[in-house]
Structure 1
Amino acid sequence: MIRHTRLLLWRTLAGVSLLLGLIGAVLPVLPTVPFLLLSAWAAGRGWPSLEARLLAHPTYGPAIRQWRERGAVPRQAKWLASVMMLGSAIMLWWSPVAPWVRAAVYLLLLGVALWLWRRPED
């Protein structure tokens, strides 16, 4: 019973992540690849056929394999993520939020950008 429940939870996580990734392929505000990475990871624990399909995908399969093998992020993805974070920072500047919230978000975005640019490239 526990094994069946675990399998169901892994498949649910894989399916929801895949759905969010597919939505992200259409909506520019939602990332695609991070959700596909999560989906492939969860599928590897409970849905091997979905994992195989994701790894074999002609567009996203190489990015998933590169992340798994070396933690690599393509340069184009780094630039896109950085520009999107900058856009978010600019919009936040004009938002009516407390200065400490703005500072915390800026530090978080800076930390993510630094981490991202230190990742190997494909």
Structure 2
Amino acid sequence: MLRLAGYTALCFGIVGVFLPILPTVPFLLLAAYFFTRSHPELAERLYAHPSYGPAMIQWRDRRAIPRRAKISALIAMAAGAVFTWFTVGWPWVLASLAVLAGAGTWIWTRAE
């Protein structure tokens, strides 16, 4: 069951590489979590990935998010907020902006 959950998270992470609205690293972290418990070799392959591995290792070891990733995430969230502001009805704008503000604050306050 954990292996299936790992593969599912990995699939979402792969889709996130191609869709800018879907994050990649959080799904890869989730996949690594499941694979660590069910298939450690696959978890190590994820941590050894040249592009995503360093960010995943920083999170695993220090719960840190690199500055570049923080800035990218906050820019994407701001773009989503602007898009929501101009396309969605008023009550949903406030709700989504509150969620984005909370998530942005959480991201910004993580170690680097």
The TM-score, its normalising length taken from structure 1, stands at 0.86
CA distance in 2, matches of 1:96, 1:55: 39
CA distance in 2, matches of 1:101, 1:37: 30
Shift in Å, 1:63: 1.1
Which residue of 97, 105, 111 maps to 1:114?
105
Aligned length: 112
Q: Tell me whether 33-42 or 100-109 shows the greater mean CA deviation.
A: 100-109
Deviations 1:2-55 (A, max 9, x none): xxxxxxx11111101111111111222221111101110111111111111111
AA partner of residue 40 (structure 1) = A
User: Structure 1 regions of 5+ residues with no counterpart?
Assistant: 1-8
User: Structure 2 regions of 5+ residues with no counterpart?
Assistant: none
Deviations 1:39-82 (A, max 9, x none): 10111111111111111222211111110111110111111111
Q: Kindly report which structure 2 residues correspond to 1:1-20, keeping only aligned pairs within 5 A, or say none.
A: 9-20=1-12
CA distance in 1, matches of 2:31, 2:96: 27
Shift in Å, 1:100: 2.5
Query: Larger radius of gyration, structure 1 or 2?
Result: 1
Q: Tell me whether 70-79 or 52-61 shows the greater mean CA deviation.
A: 52-61
- Counterpart check, 1:82 vs 2:74: yes
Q: Runs ≥4 in structure 1, deviation > 4 angstroms? A: none
CA distance in 2, matches of 1:96, 1:62: 37
The TM-score, its normalising length taken from structure 2, stands at 0.93
- 1:3 aligns to what? none
